[in-house]
Amino acid sequence: MLFQKWMNKRIEAYQSDLIRKYCDEVEGMYLKMRGWRHDYHNHIQALQASMALGRYDEVNAYLRQLNDELTQVDTTVKTGRVMVDAILNGKLNLAAGNQIPVHVKATLPAGVTVSDLDLCVIIGNLLDNAVEENRKLPVEERFLRIYMSKKNTQLYLAVTNAAGKKQTKRGGLFASSKGTDHGFGLARVNALVKKYGGIFLADSEDGGFTAEILIPLAKEQGEQGV
């Protein structure tokens, strides 16, 4: 009984800390976007000045540069659920800040039974672990692949990342080289997946780590989001 209470308190504290960190990451992302919008008027004035002087080559070069910057700002994932989009894009920004090449394809099927909060905790933990493993490696060896979609009648989520040596399992889960607090993330993911009647699979090999999740959907419907 005392152990269960201790575990519940630890889970609550861990989850609160996780969500606070997610909020900070998302806030940083939106600050960056607001900063770009703030510069928008300056860009317009610069273009108008060049146009007035007939410097059309300068205008074309300026527009090409703005287009490149806009493309970088708009590389966001849109699944159709705001909180999920926020956590995914926050983690993508985190990966970019750590020079980790990312390939992502994420759509959220209709009929997902997982709450936004639990889904964010699952995604956040997997991507935090993926980023952490990548940071241990030389830049040229880093990579992160994220796939989320419908598979038959289930929500399917897969995260594959670069890693060092093959990890060993303890109690059915992979042990962490950074202590129990770091390894607690995968255990939390496993518990949440089981809560919704799903399956959590993880595979470690030299050079890579893959986590896969299957969670039954409430009913078969088309996907939403892009």
- Strands 199-205 and 169-170, sheet pairing: unpaired
Judge: domain 82-224, CATH 2.40.50.100.
Answer: no
Residue 220 token pair:
């078969």
Distance CA 2, CA 97 (A): 42
Question: What count of other Cβ atoms lies within 10 Å of the Cβ of residue 101?
Answer: 14
Cα–Cα distance, 15 to 10 (Å, whole number)? 8
pTM of structure: 0.67
The pLDDT of residue 130 is 93
Could you tell me the mean pLDDT of each successive run of 10 residues in the chain, 226 residues long?
63 62 61 66 80 87 76 64 82 88 91 90 91 94 95 95 80 53 73 94 89 88 44
Query: Given this model, what pLDDT does residue 225 score?
Result: 45
Q: Where in the chain is the domain with CATH 3.30.565.10?
A: 82-224
CA distances in angstroms from 59 to 42, 105, 113, listed in the order given: 14, 35, 51
